[in-house]
Structure 1
Amino acid sequence: MNWDDMRLFLAVARAESLTGAGKVLRLDPATLGRRIARLEETLGTALFARSPRGYGLTEAGERLMDRAVQAEQALTEGAEELRGQGGQLTGLVRIGAPDGVANFLLPQVTAAICDANPGLEVQIVALPRVFNLSRREADMAIAVSPPETGRLTVQKVTDYHLHLVAHRDYIARHKAIRGLGDLAGHRVVGYIPDMIFDRELDYLSEIGVERVALASNSVAVQLNWLRAGAGLGIVHDFAIPAAPGLVKVLPEAVSLTRGFYLIRHGDDRKLARLARFAGLMSEGLRAEVARLEAQTT
């Protein structure tokens, strides 16, 4: 068995399909399938359970996955030691994040880091779900609540705040809102209830809203509805400056605080490059949240 075989195995295990892995590897899926079949034949065991849904790891595949990740880790650590811990950051870093932080914070924070480190490449995977770092979907992830299981390291980055908002035009066209009881007469924008992937995002239930007339799993879509004067919704304070015309509604009655957590795989804690990047990103996120929230007071 050689490292090239392990590289192909890891790609298929993480993508859970030949097509997805082929795109990452820039390899034809049919060729990749033959390589995986040959690897299984060499090892004398099935590594994947094939189904219409894709390629899932067998028990033997799970065991090999652990070893392959350890080997990948050792190679990465060796390369970083040769490069040394000083100097500029280089290489690729992939960050998984909910689309709120991915849209309104990470672009400017990571752009500043890349300005100071021209050899660095950053990918932001903006998806409204929890990321599986064990399968290396990303090098690190931002979450709105700390995970309870897994071989992970968790660091709280910062608190952030959310308020009920509406566009000035919407407020001018509709009846006055003097208390929470008045919300029943207004159209509400929010998450699709059965697609809320973290209980910390179930904002509207905290203020007694049961019906969401305009719903999306995307924070950006919700913000665009509010910017268009379509209704009321709860928004991150750091996103409000991106939508001129939005104003806080009942700011004393509806004021929420949440936190961002940086999640990394436990095996990455000794990687100097990722540790340095994580430190710069965390510092940048704290500063950017503070800067943007100060514009909404």
Structure 2
Amino acid sequence: MMNWDDMRVFLAVARAESLSAAAPLLKMDPATVGRRITRLEETVGAPLFVKSPQGYALTEQGLRMRDHAAQAEAALSLAMDEGQAVDKGLSGQVRIGAPDGCANFLLPQVCAAIQAENPGLEVQILALPRVVNLSKREADMAITVSPPDAGRLTVQKISDYRLHLAMRQDSSLPTTMADLYGVPVVGYIPDMIFDKELDYLGTLSRDGVQMASNSVAVQLQMLRHGGVGIVHDFALPCAPELTRVLMNELSLLRSFYLVRHLSDRKSDRLNRFAEALLAGMRAEIARLEAQAA
């Protein structure tokens, strides 16, 4: 006879596609996860995964079971939400996936404020140099710089944000774009740009990017040692030695979007968290951009 704990293990492996990746999420060792999957397959009487050196891929039986298990998971989550009275605050775990610029310079303070008002809440911030996969439940919700155009998802615009060229204040500051000739350019590793909205160096990188990283936070640290690059205005208060340059020649406007599972739209707990997150991010972007002005 199967129980929910068996389904929890099965879903984790189905989403992570490997025992080693699923194990930390389950707080088990990979060998234990493997034994649990073997036991589940024996109970079902059919293989649920095709095992290979590349990982665990679902069989047709496994795909059918995954869909039913995901529906049961959503129903269980809603049932748990019913037990959380509004006046008792939020509790449980919420994981947010976000690009690292947002994860480094906005989410820590915003989420800390939400958690302080809800002591029973555990907030996890997943910073990845790629789009977070919600269908595999890598996170409960994700912040993106482009709205997705596929999948069973809901999308809300959070806020616009601005970016400008920045350099050290004690360097030779340019008065025209031509003055940047020969100045090392800091930016993304070109073949690791995972969203077209992040490909914003344009002609500035015509001679290549001399200092590159897939992390916005690392790029900011690089700029502290020299060069020129495009920086989020909301990140500049964290680097007072940098200043914006050539603002009339280059000023970018981008947007953040909150993306959620369509199946979570009835979750009062996640809806309330999303409302607090939206309000907190809008206020924090406005506050930090005002400091950079």
Do these two structures clear the TM 0.5 threshold for a shared fold by scoring above it?
A: yes
How far apart are 1:83 and its partner, in Å? 2.5
Distance of 1:50 and 1:25 partners within structure 2: 19
Deviation of 1:188 after TM superposition, in Å, equals 0.3
User: Following TM superposition, by how much is the alpha carbon of 1:75 offset from its aligned partner in structure 2, in angstroms?
Assistant: 0.8
Aligned partner of 1:90: which letter? S
Map residues 187-202 of structure 1 onto 2, 5 A cutoff: 187-202=184-199
* C-alpha deviation, 1:19, in angstroms: 1.9
Cα shift at 1:41: 2.7
Correspondence for 2:40: 39
Aligned-residue offset at 1:292: 0.3
Residue aligning to 1:205? 202
In the superposition, relative to structure 1, how do residues 210 and 47 fare at CA in structure 2: closer, same or farther (>3 Å)? farther
**2:129: which partner in 1?**
128
What is the correspondence of 1:24-63 to structure 2 with a 5 Å cutoff?
Answer: 24-63=25-64
Number of matched residues? 292
Q: Distance in 2 between matches of 1:86 and 1:65?
A: 35
Matched, 1:260 2:256: yes
8 A Cα contact 2:84 2:269, kept in partner: no
| Residues 283 and 238 of structure 1, relative CA distance in 2, 3 Å threshold | same
Question: CA shift at 1:210, angstroms?
Answer: 4.2
CA distance in 1, matches of 2:14, 2:181: 48
- The residue identity in structure 2 corresponding to 1:107 is P
For the Cα contact (< 8 Å) 2:185–2:204, is it kept in 1? no
Q: Distance in 1 between matches of 2:59 and 2:275?
A: 37
1:1-297 equivalences under 5 Å are 1-169=2-170, 171-172=171-172, 177-205=174-202, 207=204, 209-228=206-225, 230-297=226-293
What is the DSSP-based 3-state SS (H/G/I as helix, E as strand, rest coil) of the residue aligned with 1:134? Answer: coil
| Structure 1 Cα separation of the partners of residues 111 and 280 of structure 2 | 8
Whether contact under 8 Å (1:19, 1:29) holds in the other structure is yes
Residues 234-268 of structure 1: CA deviation (Å, up to 9, x unaligned): 00000000001111110011100000000000000
Residues 31 and 99 (structure 1 numbering): CA distance in 2 closer, same or farther, change over 3 Å?
A: same
Q: Does the Cα contact within 8 Å between 2:197 and 2:254 map onto a contact in 1?
A: yes
Question: Following superposition, which runs of at least 4 residues in structure 1 exceed 4 angstroms of deviation?
Answer: none
How well do the aligned residues superpose, as a CA RMSD in angstroms?
A: 1.4
Q: What is the distance in 1 between the residues matched to 2:149 and 2:175?
A: 40
Deviates more, 1:116-125 or 1:34-43: 34-43
Say whether the 8 Å CA contact 1:105–1:285 is kept in structure 2: yes
Question: How far did residue 12 of structure 1 move?
Answer: 1.0
- TM-score in terms of structure 2 length: 0.95
| C-alpha deviation, 1:207, in angstroms | 4.9
Question: CA separation in 2, counterparts of 1:154 and 1:59?
Answer: 30
Pair 206,60 (structure 1): closer, same or farther in 2 beyond 3 Å: farther
User: Quick one: distance in 2 between partners of 1:282 and 1:183?
Assistant: 38
Higher mean C-alpha displacement, 234-243 vs 65-74: 65-74
- Contact conserved, 1:85 with 1:272, CA < 8 A, in 2? no
In structure 2, relative to structure 1, the CA distance for the partners of 1:208 and 1:11 (3 Å cut) is: closer
Percent identity, please: 63
CA distance in 1: counterparts of 2:278 and 2:205, whole angstroms: 34
Change (3 A) 1:227 1:150: same
